[in-house]
Structure 1
Amino acid sequence: MVCGVGEPLLLFASPLPIYRRPGTRERRRRDLFMRFVAAALLLLAACAPEAAPPAACCTATITAVVPAGAPAVYLTGNLAGLGPWRPDALLMEGEGSERVARVTAPRGSVLEYKFTLGSWEREALGPSGMVMANFRLAMEDNVSARHEIVDFKKDVKEYIADWKGSGVKGTLRYWTDVASRFLSEKRHVSIWLPPGYDQDTERRYKVLYMSDGQNLFDPRIANTGVDWGVDEALTALVEEGAIEPVIVVGVWSSAMRGPEYSPWHRAPDYARFLIEELMPRVNAEYRTLTG
């Protein structure tokens, strides 16, 4: 029984009658119901957390001065509105030599960003002709920045065709768009032949297989604009007598890089690609030591 009423109080059990003037009993039930609702609303209001005031924001106006005839230029960066780091995240305004983008960020944050033509293969280049480090702006107030872009990376196949332009020690050869029945993505493969490979036609070589093959030899192709110097390191070790010359096979990473390197995801399939497809082809086309 509730509060002395002769029967249980059922909230929303039935509508209040509207066809006659309510009597004392109906008025009491209605008053109790309204008091219950009012108390519940007050309790909810007391328990609700105070809404946090909106964070103060400021705006960065970023201008890129690009070569004449450049196509659409994109801004990418570390904020949600810039991908984060999706290469075609924000189309910059303008069609001439100046392209402009405006980015809003919380006051006190640090904005990092880069410029592309819509993909990481066409990233902006600095005065040295290499990929530039991330640009950074401290968002303490509304700010502006202006950058000179001397060029953008060429299509990767142009660099592949001009492999000598990489300055590599030894010889570079490439297989492009290699498909696999185990993997969903095609990929390029770099094959580095040590100095002397073409002269000593009877010699056979051990093979070193490496992942992230785009980063091994050519700074024009490497993700950061600085290659890992594998050719220089191996050549120096051979000249010191520390190791025998080897062939290096570098498998370029794909959009599935993370899953393919993870033993809990696609690494078993990636291993089958290496062992069952790539290694037999390398052994068939180059003078490798097998067995």
Structure 2
Amino acid sequence: IGKISKNGSALELIEDEIVSDYTIKNDLIYFYNNGYHFSGDKENNRYTIDRNEAGIYKMKCDGSNKVKLLDDFYECYGSYTYANAAICNNLCGDMSVYDDYLYFIDYRKEGKSRVCRIKIDGSDFEYLTESGAYNYTIDVENNILYYIIGEYGQSSADSITINKIYLDNRDENEILTTEDYVYKISAYDNCVYFTGSYKIGDKKEKAKKSGMIYDSALSQFKNIYGYTEIEWKKNKVGIPIKQINGPYFDLRNQKNDKTGG
């Protein structure tokens, strides 16, 4: 773990550990140490692992007051395959701090890639989702957790389902099932934004969906449509040259908030 000044002039090593995920809040850094150590064999780039050291820690941003919050990071969820090899080496992902809790996706055997949380003092560990999660975000204005359902850190190839959980009472319901591939969600200012594999049209009259916004206050979806405009101009010798302007975007109400359109 290191830090660098904003102008790039000063680089400082804070903690000589291999960290696969971290987040910072109120001058505290929360991080997951997967137990790996460089063995000293530079030629073969070999590492060793200390399972007892693997776990979630917090410390001040100057490297002091390091405390271990959670350990027992040994066995991954499911059998070790090529598809889930990365998470079997990194059993904690997507760390974030909201109020007095540290949230993350637990890829351990007992975690089954569910979203969970633990108090920032290391107490009151609990699972928040019944299903495994591919990605999640927290709407802090409305105290709601949104997550994309998926196992092993992967979403479904056939359709994407997104649920929301009210953190006050744990009520959970589905807000969207879509055949579009959504790979990232983010909450900000009473809205949840979705990005994925949407295609932008080549003409204004052929605009295509390029994203979605969910208004959490109104429980309503809007589709972001993107388009480009083509203009033909002649160059100095009179040859027509195609000029593409844009892309431009506009919002449209989604007719059915259970489908991605």
**TM-score between both structures, scaled by the size of structure 1:** 0.24
**TM-score between both structures, scaled by the size of structure 2:** 0.26
Question: Which protein, 1 or 2, shows the higher relative CO under an 8 Å CA cutoff with sep ≥ 6?
Answer: 1
User: Over alpha carbons, which structure has the higher Rg?
Assistant: 1
Larger strand proportion of the pair: 2
Larger helix proportion of the pair: 1
